[in-house]
Chain A
Amino acid sequence: MEGFKDKTRVLSPQDIKRVLYRLAHQILEKTPDSNKLALLGIQTRGVFLARRIKAIIKEIEGTDVPLGILDITLYRDDLTAIGPSPLVKETKINFSIDNKVVVLIDDVLFTGRTIRAALDEIMDFGRPQKVELVVLVDRGYRELPIRADFVGKNIPTAQTEHVEVRLEEIDKKDEVVILEKSNK
């Protein structure tokens, strides 16, 4: 990220792996009937996390949980305030979410605005029995009354800092780091 430099590494590749196994178990513990589950990953890194959780569930339960991709751009509350027109990425949910336990997956929970947008979008796709939120990192500073059901790691941060989740699939390595403003 421009103008920022790595400060601390808070999760290693091993940590991320363990955390994802725990999250998968927690999801299954709460909804033992894995046929009721549907995973929705939020673009971009939430999608990769969702894919990994799907694979872990398959390994544990042997079930192929449906997985969808959610891009929340068109539901943002700052769409016309920020400009220029933000990029719209793919949304792809090719199964019915009606009466499913939808597990929404994202990398970092911060203000909660992304999740608000995601919830609105999900409702346009159908009426799930329940929506649960799973995040790899919760860094605090919520601006809306939203909380995660399962959190990989709570990371206390200063508001001026950034939390970056890096994943093998696009960043060529697995790690979570806190970034701070560089003085340059």
Chain B
Amino acid sequence: MWDKKHIIAIKELERRHIEAIFNLARNFKELSQREIKKTPALRGKTVVNLFFENSTRTRTSFELAAKRLSADVLNFSASMSSLSKGESIVDTIKNLESYHPDIIVARVGFSASMRTFMRYTDASIINAGDGANEHPTQALLDMFTVEEAKGTLESLKVLIVGDIRHSRVARSNIFGFQKFSSSIRVCGPTTLVPYEFHKIGVEVFDDLDKALDDVDVIIMLRIQRERQESSFFPSLREYVERFSLTPGRIKKAKKGCLIMHPGPINWDIEISSALKERLHPFILHQAGNGLAVRMAVLYLAGTRRKEL
């Protein structure tokens, strides 16, 4: 039985929650293949997309997911809001609350800010990324894609490559895969992959060739140049030299290894463009799964028991 009002962090979900979301997502995928890709499930509900940080993919995917469920959607981005006129985030939420939204999908630059929002609204809050903390729906869609392709999430070797330090996607995926007894490796320059990560039970590598050995799944993270005020590695060229996925390197992973990327991809930085033809279709398929997973999450939040 679904007993969550908010979906803030994978860390707080149990395995059964994740499985419930996947069961739903499987059925929502079918919906997207119909002539009329819409059901009345959330008719009359209001979903607010509250994005204090830029986002195209996540926001549009949540927007379409809400529309496919017949909810009314209000898109609110910081750049075009009163925030740019000096309104505080709390005042913005209070103002939105006067419209009685049922679900608020929020993205904020500060970690753990969702708790603050809860105090000012009765809506269910869905975290669409909070600082370097978590991005639960991205991890859910990654895991859903892996389960679909591998038939299981149990006992896999998963490697995450890139800027682990700043990555909410990495954190959410680490917590998620660990719940299914999969083992996680992280790899990147030591400045971006602090050794402290071993404390949450992951293996830390700074040599991609060693890290790739025998892995089932590789999640390549985007190098977020916009997030790095100071340089964490000497040059992009050096990064590419050491951490770019190339046709030669890929052979070290297990045969049939899945390669994923949350997008948008910087070709020839995270992944060699020589692999584009081979890898891009699956990465696009992964993005398509995002829609189904987000529909599942919105459905659960929108049809929750009132007393939650």
Contacts and interface: CB of A to CB of B under 8 A. Distances in A.
Contact of A75 (B34, B36, B39): B39
Interface string A74-97: 110001100111111111100000
A106 interface: no
Interface in B63-106: 69
Given A124-B36, A125-B35, A91 B30 contact: yes
Given A88-B24, A125-B35, A83 B40 contact: no
Contacts of A80: 42, 44-45, 302-303
A67 to B, nearest CB: 16
Contacts of A91: 27, 30-31
B304 interface: yes
Contacts of B299: 74, 85, 88
Given A92-B30, A125-B34, A74 B39 contact: yes
A125 to B, nearest CB: 6
Contacts of A86: 303
Contact of A84 (B1, B45, B69): B1
Q: Which 10 A-B pairs have the closest CB atoms?
A: A83-B305, A74-B39, A85-B303, A124-B36, A74-B41, A88-B27, A85-B2, A84-B305, A84-B2, A85-B300
Interface in A25-48: none
A101 B300 CA distance: 35
B34 A124 contact: yes
- Interface residue range, chain A: 20 to 34
B306 interface: yes
- The residue among B28, B45, B299 with the most chain A CB atoms within 10 A of its own CB is B299
25 contacts: A73-B41, A74-B31, A74-B40, A74-B41, A74-B299, A75-B41, A79-B41, A80-B42, A80-B44, A80-B45, A83-B303, A83-B304, A83-B305, A84-B303, A85-B2, A85-B299, A85-B303, A85-B304, A88-B28, A90-B26, A90-B27, A91-B30, A92-B30, A124-B38, A125-B35
A75 B303 CA distance: 13
B3 interface: yes
Nearest to B44: A80
Given A71-B27, A74-B39, A124-B39, A84 B34 contact: no
A44 to B, nearest CB: 14
A88 B41 CA distance: 11
Contacts of A71: 27
Given A84-B2, A90-B30, A126 B303 contact: no
A120 interface: yes
Nearest to B300: A85
A80 to B, nearest CB: 5
Contacts of B44: 80
A77 to B, nearest CB: 9
Contacts of B42: 80
A88 B300 CA distance: 11
Contacts of B35: 124-126
Nearest to B303: A85
Interface string A50-90: 00000000000000000000010111000110011111111
A74 B71 CA distance: 13
B30 A84 contact: no
A84 B304 contact: yes
- The residue among A74, A75, A90, A126 with the most chain B CB atoms within 10 A of its own CB is A74
A89 B24 CA distance: 8
Contacts of A124: 34-36, 38-39
Contacts of B69: 74
Contacts of A89: 27
Contacts of B30: 90-92
Contacts of B3: 84
